[in-house]
Amino acid sequence: MAGRVTARTTNGPISISGSSGEVQANAQNGPISLDDCSGSGEARAVNGPVHISGHSGTYRLSTQNGPISVELDGDRWTGTLDARAVNGPLSLKLS
């Protein structure tokens, strides 16, 4: 899916898969999941986790009171990945 995706929720999940365009995801009290995305964008959660899987793109991930998990499809990320968690763990898994 190319182009721009904007998603906002309160008390519910956001799940985006296969995007090669720009992603803007904001959740309050809910999880954000970006799977197999290769474009660019930002995912911000308050009181919820942020998960991303893939191998490329330019993404900024942030959460307050929740974990961030990054799952790499391969041994490296091509592009820029900035992940910041306040009051939550950050985990990285190599596939």
Can you say whether residue 25 is alpha, beta or left, with left for phi > 0 and alpha for psi between -120 and 50 degrees?
beta
Euclidean distance between CA atoms 83 and 50, whole angstroms? 9
pTM for the structure as a whole: 0.94
How does pLDDT run across 38-53, given as a tens digit for each residue? Answer: 999 999 999 999 999 9
- Three-state secondary-structure class, residue 66: coil
Q: Which residue, chain included where needed, has tokens 């309050």? A: 28
Spatial separation of the C-alpha atoms in residues 50 and 62, rounded to whole Å: 7
Residue matched to tokens 């970006």: 34
**More confidently predicted of 29 and 94:** 29
pLDDT digit string, tens, across residues 8-29: 999 999 999 999 999 999 999 9
Tokens of 68: 């961030």
